Amino acid sequence: MNHKNKESYIGADDPLLPQVFDYLNKFDFPVAYLIQRKFKIGFSRAEKILRQIEARRTITK
């Protein structure tokens, strides 16, 4: 990822968010390790996606 794309990525929803959300519906609780393993991404990105999912749940409650 080049520097320009990384700047536009910060604060935006991750492109994997919908896929991860669907995948996590199979489990009782979300774990970053499951996301890392399934989507072959790093821990930081997995955690960021989990925070985005949690933020959406908070908004919809």
Domains with residue ranges and CATH for the chain: 3-60 (1.10.10)
The pLDDT of residue 61 is 62
Helix/strand/coil for 24:
helix
Distance between CA atoms of 14 and 22, rounded to whole angstroms? 14
pLDDT at 3 over 80: no
Distance between CA atoms of 46 and 44, rounded to whole angstroms? 5
Tokens of 17: 């968010």
Contacts of 9 (CB under 8 A, 6+ apart): 1
Q: Which pLDDT tens digit goes with each residue over 14-53? A: 999 999 999 998 888 888 999 999 999 999 999 999 999 9
Distance between CA atoms of 38 and 20, rounded to whole angstroms? 9
